[in-house]
Amino acid sequence: MSPGLHELTCQELVELITDYLEGALSAADRLRFDQHVAKCEWCKIYIEQMRATIQAVGRLSKAAIHPPARDDLLAVFRHWNA
């Protein structure tokens, strides 16, 4: 581990997963992310689950989502960080 960098926790990994999957992590965060995943079986499983979810959801068309369900999902995403 480089000086000044702390080991990534599982919670921090969860918070960084989107940037990781989009290739948007800084080099330092990517290194910390990769080092954590190399030692944490649970986070490896979590990453695999996220990739599978993205792949499955990516196949949905707008018409395939029932309008009330779509509205509920959009409301949750609009307020997820509140």
Cα separation, 44 vs 28, in Å, equals 19
Do the beta carbons of residue 20 and residue 30 sit within 8 Å?
yes
Q: What are the sequence ranges of the domains in the chain?
A: 10-78
Highest mean pLDDT among 1-5, 29-33, 73-77: 29-33
Query: What is the tens place of the pLDDT at every residue in 42-72?
Result: 999 999 999 998 888 887 787 888 889 888 8
Q: Strand, helix or coil at 74?
A: helix
Assess whether pLDDT exceeds 90 at residue 12. Answer: yes
Q: Which residues contact 35 (CB under 8 A, 6 or more apart)?
A: 1, 7, 8
Instruction: Give the number of other Cβ atoms within 10 Å of residue 33's Cβ.
Output: 21
Q: What confidence score (pLDDT) does residue 6 get?
A: 85
